[in-house]
């Protein structure tokens, strides 16, 4: 399941970046001050607002001494605390994995093609991994 969680984060971040630009363009300005974005701005566009520590670029740019497993778990917890409908749903068992594995997975899902991928592509990737997980382990 951890791979599916990283796919979720990648997809949510892609959608966040697209909607963020739309929201920024539509934010009202009064007296030269632009209103701050809120999660409601994103909800109106059927997207998740991602707290800073839940954004994929934040996870990619962790310092070498930071525990990636813990950072990914904190990213999931931050999303759950921001979005009540996701409480208790997202995977949070990343500290059991070798940091090098998590670093490689984060980089794999940061491939340029995936940075530009839409929901349909992520749906296909998700279905692929679900199918692999359903297959019985070979002896």
Residues 134 and 23: their CA atoms lie apart, in Å, by 39
Helix boundaries (H) for the chain:
2-26, 39-43, 56-60, 68-82, 99-108, 112-115, 119-134
| 19's tokens | 């909607």
| 77's tokens | 């917890």
Cα 24 → chain centroid = 20
Q: What is the CATH number of domain 2-134?
A: 1.20.1260.30
CB 54 within 8 A of CB 92: no
Does the pLDDT of residue 122 top 80, yes or no? no
pLDDT digit string, tens, across residues 29-44: 999 999 999 999 999 9
Q: What is the mean pLDDT of residues 14-28?
A: 94
pLDDT digit string, tens, across residues 53-107: 999 999 999 998 899 999 999 999 999 999 999 999 999 999 888 888 999 999 9
Domain spans of the chain, in order of start = 2-134
Predicted confidence at residue 134, as pLDDT, reads 67
Region of 49 on the Ramachandran plot (φ > 0 left; ψ -120 to 50 alpha; else beta): beta
Residues 86 and 79: their CA atoms lie apart, in Å, by 8
SS3 99: helix
Report which of 135, 117, 128, 134 is spatially closest to residue 14, judged by C-alpha positions. 117
């Amino acid at each position: 399941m951890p791979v599916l969680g990283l796919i979720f984060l990648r997809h949510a971040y892609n959608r966040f970046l697209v909607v963020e630009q739309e929201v920024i363009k539509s934010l009202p300005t009064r007296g030269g001050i632009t209103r701050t974005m809120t999660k409601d701005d994103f909800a109106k566009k059927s997207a998740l607002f991602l707290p800073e520590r839940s954004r994929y670029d934040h996870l990619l740019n962790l310092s070498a001494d930071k525990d990636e497993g813990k950072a990914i778990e904190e990213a999931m917890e931050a999303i759950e605390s921001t979005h009540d409908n996701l409480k208790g749903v997202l995977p949070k068992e990343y500290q059991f994995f070798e940091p090098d594995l998590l670093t490689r997975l984060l980089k794999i899902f940061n491939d340029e093609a995936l940075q530009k991928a839409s929901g349909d592509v992520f749906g296909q990737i998700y279905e692929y991994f679900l199918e692999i997980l359903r297959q019985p382990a070979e002896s």
